[in-house]
Structure 1
Amino acid sequence: MTTATEPQVGSSISVSVLEHLQEPFQQHIIPNNNIGPIFEVDNIDERSDPGFEDGDYRSITASLNRAIQEYRQINGRSYHNYDGAYYWAPNDDTQNEYLDMAHHMMCLAYDNQLFLAPLENPQRVLDVGCGTGIWCLDFAEQFPGAQVTGTDISPIQPRWVSPNCRFEIDNCELEWTFAENEFDYIHIGSLIGSIQDWPKLYKEIIRALKPGGWFEQREVALPVRANEGELPEDCVYHDWASIFYETGEATGRTWRITEQWKGWLRDAGFTEKIHTHQVKLPIGGWPKNKLQKEIGLFNLLSIETGLEGFATYICKMVLGWHDAEIQLLLERMRAAVKNPQLHAYFPLKSVWTQKPYA
């Protein structure tokens, strides 16, 4: 059984704040290869109390206790208090607003589809790391005959939900207590940088899937890329990616999951075809295409909402940065996301595959 541990605070920074943030992390930068066709650019100037239903959830942490709801406070932000679990983002209202906006943006990017796997009348569905529960609620509405279960380490989901949707408090990194061959479809979204042992998790997933059942995962990947060519060498987006890569090395929770998931899924027993897909999430309204512009504006709004939550725990508690260093990084990022001349985007990547029938 793998038990997650809290990352330790790093040593103090020896260089000045300005030098620390403006010096490129060249050793971590990977080629900024473009994804898909070049978007046509629009010639514009942008300046711009929760609970859960009763029942036997067959989960080792199904019972809520007061300690879980007494969140940790770091720099005025609240974080989960599930013993032994790890997640780097806050669970307060501001970050939850970001999660819901990001969900809407991803649905737009995938033509309003909640999934890409070829599902046919799924009956038992599991969303691992469900966050606010918005994906579960939308899926339950689309498939009223399915029983949808969402698990998370924070009880931030709504109290009143449709009869075919429920939520459980659970740490997916522990050994699962779901029955073998229980689910028709298992979904993961936005767990990048949070799992210590992905091969172990994928083995739990294939065990819990019915023969012929589908697994799908969707992640916003690093690094930020440029629509045409490369980002400038001094662009803060290079530093941003390097910070998260360094955090993954320090915590043992990789931020490069999309580069490795196919091999790990094969090793877990997913021997059927592994499908992948990727699209661009523009940052800002620079695309000329109306839909891409809308996606970009939602992306910009969601980034501005969640930006402080992205950096606070990682930079302060994992890398040991001072508050002034974090604030300078955030100011550089705020300027970059509002810069329409960069034509920047995040890659949104998905993988889906089927459990063999044999």
Structure 2
Amino acid sequence: MADSTSKPTPPAGSPAAQSPQAAKSPPKTRTPSDAAGLSPAGATDLEADIAIDDGESDNASTIDDRISSYTASLSSSVLDYPTEHGRRYHSFRSGSYILPNDESEMDRLDFCHALLTKTIGDKLFLAPVDETKMHRVLDVGTGTGIWAIEMGDKYPNAEILGNDLSAIQPAWIPPNVKFEIDDVESEWIGEEYDFIFSRYMCGSIADWPKYVKRVYDNLNPGGWAEFQDWSFMIYSDDGTIEGTELLRWVDLFMDACKIFGRDGQIGPKLEGIVRENTGFVNVHHQPFKIPAGPWARDPHLKDIGMLELIQLLDGLEGFSLRLLCGALGWTKEEVLVLLAGVRKDLKDPKIHAWLYYNVVYGQKPEKEEE
């Protein structure tokens, strides 16, 4: 995750740009024998001075505009989103994320944000972060950026960075918030953070121990990390999900996740991964039950149950198409027939399904043991 834009590595055989001082006193070049793998012709080209375009000095005042144009050109490939089964997906690291990034999915993600903040008590996070020391905050897999934006509004003195595979965040944001396109499973560079927030990454991460260790390594001493995630396994206390299309869909979903190299039940495992692969202290795990429907007696659970039902119904196609078609070889039509039965089960008040949602947070020690 780059805190600043990283420069592309020059292709093999391309000389790096020289500073003005270097241009006056060219450094000693590699000899043909040093240029392993290059033909004599290639070696001769390396020995030649780079011709200078004298007209460049007249363009100095427009360099910012040219950089902007060049960056936009590089970004165009990232924004050229592929379409599968009528849904739009990420193009950056294509295939590494199983859900769409189109308007329907963006609306669902914002709705899911409302559900999850309400689930944990109308809060943005649970970690006992010292707000006076929260100067740099990272939102991993920011999605639409809604969490980062609300954090920016609430903590105007903190710098909030959100990263994601897709540039789907709004243009109008608080001045202390910025977004980057990045893959969290690539190397992280840049300054450390005081708080790293990771939510709803189930289905996104291939190597969870490595990912959690990277989060730990990129915290300042005394900093906090919070992981919030699902288990997509569905349960019922009274056995009413047995024999349903809903349970059949869940089993198929889990099988497809395994084929894609993703863990659909990561939430309950987070505490163990955090404890076993990092030096986090003050680790706390808070599980939550979220009903899939408004069938609970408790008013709070009834409320979040209705929200969960709505986001599940809206997300079923996005959850299923790439996974079942890509991993299990189903046709789109077969998937849609299955989902019709799943929707019927979800709306049935006699089926009392619920899911686990898990919050795990921990602190990096002020001083690590030698």
Q: Normalized against structure 2, the TM-score is what?
A: 0.77
| 1:98-136 per-position Cα deviation (integer Å, ceiling 9, x unaligned) | 101111011111111110100111110001101000111
Is 1:57 aligned to residue 4 of structure 2? yes
More displaced 10-residue stretch of structure 1: 296-305 or 132-141: 296-305
Task: Name the CA distance, whole Å, in 2 between partners of 1:135 and 1:304.
Answer: 22
Task: Name the CA distance, whole Å, in 2 between partners of 1:84 and 1:76.
Answer: 16
Q: Secondary structure at the match of 2:123?
A: coil
Task: Name the CA distance, whole Å, in 1 between partners of 2:225 and 2:103.
Answer: 30
**1:151 counterpart residue number:** 163
* 1:85 CA drift (Å): 5.9
Spell out structure 1 runs of 4+ moving beyond 3 A.
Answer: 58-61
Kept in 2, the 8 Å contact 1:270–1:353? The answer is no
Kept in 2, the 8 Å contact 1:152–1:168? The answer is yes
Q: Which runs of 5+ in 2 are unaligned?
A: 9-70
* 1:59 CA drift (Å): 5.0
| 1:180-231 per-position Cα deviation (integer Å, ceiling 9, x unaligned) | xx101101111102211111111211111011111111112121122x3223
Q: Secondary structure at the match of 2:308?
A: helix
Kept in 1, the 8 Å contact 2:203–2:257? The answer is yes
**2:153 counterpart residue number:** 141
Map of 1:273-284 to 2, 5 A cutoff?
A: 273-284=282-293
Alpha carbons of 1:279 and 1:260: their partners in 2 closer, same or farther (altered >3 Å)?
Answer: closer
**2:324 counterpart residue number:** 315
| 1:264-293 per-position Cα deviation (integer Å, ceiling 9, x unaligned) | 222332341321111122222222333322
Q: Secondary structure at the match of 2:281?
A: coil
Q: Which runs of 5+ in 1 are unaligned?
A: 1-54
Say how many residue pairs are matched.
301
* 1:84 CA drift (Å): 5.6
**1:253 counterpart residue number:** 262
Q: Counting helix residues as a fraction of each chain, which structure ranks higher?
A: 2
| 1:212 aligned partner, one-letter code | G
1:101 to 104, 111, 119: 111
**2:226 counterpart residue number:** 216
1:339 to 330, 348, 360: 348
**1:17 counterpart residue number:** none
Is 1:75 aligned to residue 85 of structure 2? yes
Kept in 1, the 8 Å contact 2:292–2:353? The answer is yes
2:196 to 165, 186, 189: 186
Map of 1:276-315 to 2, 5 A cutoff?
A: 276-315=285-324
Is 1:161 aligned to residue 173 of structure 2? yes
Q: Secondary structure at the match of 1:108?
A: helix
Q: Normalized against structure 1, the TM-score is what?
A: 0.79
Is 1:120 aligned to residue 124 of structure 2? no
| 1:78 aligned partner, one-letter code | R
Q: Percent identity?
A: 34
Task: Name the CA distance, whole Å, in 2 between partners of 1:310 and 1:127.
Answer: 22
Kept in 2, the 8 Å contact 1:97–1:305? The answer is no
More displaced 10-residue stretch of structure 1: 77-86 or 265-274: 265-274
* 1:60 CA drift (Å): 6.8
Is 1:349 aligned to residue 347 of structure 2? no
